Amino acid sequence: MAAVKKRTVRPKTKAKAKVQPKALSPELPFWFQPEAPLGSAVRYVASLSPKFNWVGIYVLKGKFLELGPYLGAPSEHTRIPVGKGVCGTAVAENADQNVADVRSRANYLSCSLETRSELVVLIRDRGGKILGQIDIDSHEVAAFGPEEESGVRRVAKELGELWA
């Protein structure tokens, strides 16, 4: 199986979020780059595991998730309604999703024929409001264990705290 070359791609929707350091924040995450806050989070998360074949951030805009920066193959899913697919289900259920085998999900939105597992971690502000999510696909079944989930949740929490 040929390896997928990762690259940053900007989708047509160009979902943006105001993410900036809070004036009172004593310490910023080491991965944070103010000129590209979402992109720097994506790059860092992608570096956490070789099992991560696609990493992206979706920003919640009303009743839709809009694709922001990502690393991996291009996706046709640049705008996902809340409740549809694994990403939309995470928002609708207000819960992170760790799908060991996407082939077992009737509502799975296929981004790649090679994808076997998906992890979606919600990004929330300090009050718990959902702002977006980090979405990760892997070509391996059951690719996301406690260590991977913990690392992605930490980045989602840090990003949510910086979101203005």
Tell whether the model's pLDDT for residue 151 goes beyond 90.
yes
Q: For residues 8 and 146, which has the higher predicted lDDT (pLDDT)? A: 146
Query: Could you tell me what percent of the chain has a pLDDT over 70?
Result: 84
Q: Dihedral of the CA atoms 19, 115, 46, 38 (nearest 10)?
A: -10
At 137 the three-state DSSP class reads strand
Place of tokens 């099992």: 51
50, HSE (Cβ side, Cα atoms, 13 Å)? 1
Architecture of domain 35-162: 2-Layer Sandwich (3.30)
Q: What is the DSSP letter of 104?
A: G
Q: How far apart are CA 14 and CA 65, in angstroms?
A: 12
Closest C-alpha among 36, 34, 11 to residue 21: 34
16 — pLDDT class (breaks 50, 70, 90): low
Does residue 149 carry a pLDDT above 80? yes
pLDDT band at 109 (very low <50, low <70, confident <90, very high): confident
For 32-53, write each residue's pLDDT tens digit.
Answer: 888 899 999 999 999 999 999 9
Q: What is the pTM of this model?
A: 0.85
Q: Mean pLDDT in the chain? A: 87
